[in-house]
Amino acid sequence: MRLKARAKINWTLDIVGQRADGYHLMDMLMQPVTLADDITLAPAEKITLTTGGFPLLPADEKHLARRAAVALKEHTGYPGGASIHVEKHIPVGAGMGGGSADAAGVLVGLNRLWGLNLPQEELEVIGLRLGADVPFCIRGGLTRTTGIGETMEDLPCGRCWPLVVIQPCEGLSTKEIFTAYHEGVVAVRPDNDTAALALAKSDAQALSATMANVMQPVSEARRPSIREAIAALTEQGACAAQMTGSGSAVFGAFIDESSACRAYDVLCNRWERVYLCSTCMDSVVFVDDDQN
């Protein structure tokens, strides 16, 4: 069984509070993108994991794909295992949910491979124990996600946008950025209601005026190249551009594919990690399924 586990972007990201246990309360608009890791699953006696691609990550017990398989097995009492291979394409430390996407792909894939037939909502509950972005990476679509990631409202999507994504620097520590966020003052917050309406109407001008990421200034202070990459995307014709998640990746949305391709060709000469993709609605996509 082969599937694609897709990355995500934040059209908006706001922090609206913090729980007593330290978890931050979020209010954000998220959507999957076609940039994806490739996951291969096969029946086996035990759970095993191998990795490939770039960046090459250790296939150890900390890997979210393996943790997801173990969590699903423990939740259901399934007696068997699976061999899992993750071929990495999503940049790491980028704010694109690469690890969460892998966990989501394994949960959705093994639910089918093992014949568990768990409803999506139950998979999302298991996923939340692994990471705040995992439930969204299971569900997909255009959503307004609140709480710590457990509350998702499906939103209408007017169109899918061609994107150019740049990771202009090394990855950032989410924990470090959240800590630094509390030390500053937020100057600009997103208008989530208006941004959601702009996405429904495919209104690029309104979207650009109302989208924002409260983590962006914090990450830019530590990695000035983030600001430079956003400016470069705008110079190359992006109608909306900003950082996703806590960074370090940034994205630019373009009116049409040809404009995105032209920008991609130019920006590849300046940065090594540049990706051409688009927003989409499905987070986990089965490429083939020999088991059914």
Is there a single domain that holds both residue 132 and residue 11? Answer: yes
pLDDT (tens place) for every residue of the chain, 292 residues total:
999 999 999 999 999 998 888 888 999 999 999 999 999 999 999 999 999 998 788 888 999 999 999 999 999 999 999 999 999 999 999 999 999 999 999 999 999 999 999 999 999 999 999 999 999 999 999 999 999 999 999 999 999 999 999 999 987 777 788 777 877 667 789 999 999 999 999 999 999 999 999 999 999 988 999 999 999 999 999 999 999 999 999 999 999 999 999 999 999 999 999 999 999 999 999 997 554 4
- At residue 49, the 3 state secondary structure works out as strand
Judgement on whether residues 171 and 197 belong to the same structural domain of the protein: yes
The residues carrying an active-site annotation are: 8, 133
* 9 and 118 together in one domain: yes
- Residue 249 to residue 244: CA distance in whole angstroms: 6
User: What CATH number is associated with residue 127?
Assistant: 3.30.230.10
The tally of domains found in the chain comes to: 2
pTM over 0.85: yes
Asked if 114 and 143 sit in the same domain, the reply is: yes
126-146 per-residue burial string, b: 16 or more CB within 10 A, e: under 16:
bbbebbbbbbbbbbbbbbbbb
8 and 138 fall within a common domain: yes
DSSP track, 182-227: TTS-------HHHHHHHHHHT-HHHHHHH--BTTHHHHHHH-HHHH
Same domain, 179 and 72: no
Instruction: Note whether 166 and 126 are same-domain residues.
Output: no
Cβ partners under 8 Å of residue 14, min gap 6: 26, 27, 28, 189, 190, 192, 212, 214
Same domain, 11 and 83: yes
Question: Residue 90 is part of which domain span?
Answer: 2-154+281-288
11 shares its domain with 145: yes
Question: What DSSP string runs through 248-287?
Answer: S-EEEE-SSHHHHHHHHHHHTTT-S-EEEEEB-S-SEEEE
